[in-house]
Amino acid sequence: MTQIRPFTLAIPQSQIDDLNARIDLTRWPEKEAVEDWSQGTPLEALRDLVGYWRGGYDWRRCEARLNALGQFVTEIDGLDIHFLHVRSPHADALPLIITHGWPGSVIEFMGVIEELANPADGAQAFHVVAPSLPGFGFSGKPVHTGWGVEKIARAWGELMTRLGYARWVAQGGDWGSAVTTSIGVQQVAGCAGIHLNMPIGRPEPDDLANPSPAELKALGALQHYQEWDSGYSTQQRTRPQTVGYGLVDSPVGLAGWIFEKMWAWTDNAGSPYDALSRDQILDNLMLYWLPATGASSARLYWESFGSFAPQQVTLPVAVSAFPKEILPTPRKWAERNFPNLVHWGDMDKGGHFAAWEQPEAFLRELRTAFALMR
């Protein structure tokens, strides 16, 4: 039950053929009534992405890359957990578990894993563990309630123990931030500190009475999220099964649902491709389409949406604040929850998908932050 099992991706061609057939049979809606993204993913933009998906995209390239990195599965509390595991050639490397969010996947870390594991300076090396959240990617899909953030945090501790890591650090953004924060709150055995690129903080009455520029930005972002950007989360935290039917059955429906966030949540000048390539976006999309996780990934919102709340963490905490984060937290708010805040980095560029969008800056931040916890 505790065995670490090698995992090799070899998607049958019949699944690729089925995807292509479904794309060919798409019944498209009419064009939106505006000339921007304010009504959702524009028809022309989605047709362009799906056209490339159908005629130019090469899944086998991504499949080979994942297999080359090293994929594994282990069963924890009755559920298979899929993870990438890259051991550094440097024996004294620091073990690191790094967690993605929605609508991301381990694909977010493809541009940083190898450099984390084998940098030019061996003193900065990490043994990297990148699990797929339960119900995401090639992890198992919970069939009972209970797999919320707190349980996932404990499962990550069990995973690190099984891999032989007695002392380790953790990193995350989005749901990965919630899981990583929970690791710190619960003081999961072995964790020496955490790094977040989406810390959660809330204003107090004094902040609202006389807000600083950083607080005004955060309050404006929160209002924008609530008014214009939170529909997906309301649906997924209340009726994940209902939305899942369309996301599992229709590749174009899934693409439209996720592609919008590639526009809304990245640091771009109007196009998602300012931040991410079509191949990057589709690699990530395939980790939702192939294992049919449209419903199972949405259920994490039903289980744990309330976990996005300020919590006290006494372990060492480091934060990297990217300017286009969807819910920015000013340092003042974060310091209330993190009395042992050892590093705060204000980034010049980047959005919600930090490692994916700005891999070099992300690498620098992790090295700086975790040097204080080695």
Q: Burial, 28: exposed, middle or buried (Cβ in 10 Å; 0-12, 13-18, 19+)?
A: exposed
DSSP string, 110-149: TTTHHHHHS-SSGGG-EEEEEEPPTTSTTS---SSTT--H
DSSP string, 33-94: SSSSSTTSS-HHHHHHHHHHHHHT--HHHHHHHHHHH-EEEEEETTEEEEEEEE--SSTTPE
Residue in 57, 232, 273, 301 annotated catalytic? 301
Contact 217, 325 (CB under 8 A): no
Contact 314, 339 (CB under 8 A): yes
Contact 174, 101 (CB under 8 A): yes
Residue in 82, 85, 343, 352 annotated catalytic? 352
Catalytic residue at 195? Answer: no
Catalytic residue at 82? Answer: no
317 CB contacts (<8 Å, ≥6 apart)? 184, 193, 194, 195, 196, 199, 338, 340, 341, 342
| Cα dihedral 17→51→263→251 (10° resolution) | -30
Residue in 85, 100, 174, 273 annotated catalytic? 174
Contact 139, 79 (CB under 8 A): yes
Catalytic residue at 343? Answer: no
Residues labelled as active-site residues: 174, 301, 352
